[in-house]
Amino acid sequence: MIDALLNYKFVQNAFAAAIFSSLLCGIVGTIIVEKKLVSMSGGIAHASFGGIGLGYLLGIEPIIPGLGFSIFAALAIAKINRSSSARADTLTGMFWAIGMALGILFISLSSGYKPDMTSYLFGDILTVTDFYLNAMIVLSVIVVFVVVSFFDYWKGYMFDEEYLQVIGINVLLLENMLFILVAFSIVILIKVVGIILSIALLTIPPSTAKLFTKNLKSMMLLSIVFGVAYNIGGLVISYYLDIPSGATIILFSSFVYFVLMFIRK
């Protein structure tokens, strides 16, 4: 594996993608877990598949319309969540299904050879291109900057929204920003573990960190450490066993989580 890392560009890109995706697992994933937004994040993830399909139909880089679809779905789901809690789960599920259906439709309408969508659905970190890696870096920097710059506000949003409203903070703006950050995170994770498995990677590292600390900042930092360990560990296992990297990362991280949970209990 060391020889491949030193000699092959695609392996170097894979390791870099593992590091940057771990930042998102630790930072945004912690907020998702603490705010109990896993289901809504799943709706955003699956809606992005419509953008991926549109990218193939238009002949452009799929990740660009995928990001657009993710942001639109994120803001729509955030509005649905605010306006009707009774219907939120149902409408989120509709976004989930509509995104997948549009992706399939757009791909079927595209001319020429139909692409293999396995890497987008289930991930293949070894297929990360320079363009995708650069996009990951830019989006990761934006996410880290936004969360670190407004860290105290995020803490208040997660644990005491009413207090923020009393002191005049725009909670609606914070919520919309959060869902946009989730959209960014989903796009970053698509090539690592795929659309279907991305929510697992966003939630397992924070859940593991929560076994050891209740402090928000410590949880984020520990989640990043676990994210790096899970991504690189799964990548190494998949490389030597020649099995799908996305599924291996999720299975490896789940195994470690349950072992640690058992030990802690």
pLDDT score of 135: 81
How far is C-alpha 249 from the chain's CA centre?
Answer: 14
To 10 degrees, the CA torsion angle through 180, 227, 15, 119? -60
CA–CA separation, 242 vs 23, rounded Å?
26
Between the ranges 138-152, 159-173, 179-193, where is the mean pLDDT highest?
A: 138-152
The pLDDT confidence band at residue 256, using thresholds 50, 70 and 90, is very high
List, for residues 173-228, the tens digit of each pLDDT value.
888 888 888 888 887 787 777 777 778 888 899 999 999 988 888 888 999 999 88
Handedness of CA 131, 193, 220, 29 (dihedral sign): positive
More confident residue, 259 or 157: 259
CB 181 within 8 A of CB 43: no
CB 264 within 8 A of CB 211: yes
List, for residues 104-139, the tens digit of each pLDDT value.
888 888 776 666 677 777 777 777 878 888 888 888
H-only helix segments in 84-170: 88-109, 118-122, 130-149, 151-159, 161-166
How far is C-alpha 247 from the chain's CA centre?
Answer: 15
Number of alpha helices (DSSP H) and beta strands (DSSP E) in the chain:
12, 0
CB 40 within 8 A of CB 70: no
Q: What are phi and psi of 92, to 5 degrees?
A: -65, -40
Tokens of 220: 């984020």
List, for residues 7-48, the tens digit of each pLDDT value.
667 678 888 888 888 887 788 888 888 888 777 777 788 888
List, for residues 58-108, the tens digit of each pLDDT value.
888 888 888 888 888 888 877 777 766 556 667 777 777 888 888 888 888
pLDDT score of 74: 84
CA–CA separation, 63 vs 61, rounded Å?
6
pLDDT score of 252: 92
Tokens of 135: 């996009």
Q: What string of DSSP letters covers 147-215?
A: HHHTHHHHHHHHH-HHHHHHTT--HHHHHHHHHHHHHHHHHHHHHHHHHHHHHHHHHHHHHHHHTT---
CB 108 within 8 A of CB 53: no
Distances (CA, A) of 81 to 67, 98, 256: 21, 18, 33
Residue matched to tokens 């936004």: 146
pLDDT score of 108: 82
Residue 54 has pLDDT above 80, yes or no: yes
Reported CATH class of domain 2-264:
mainly alpha
pLDDT score of 13: 80
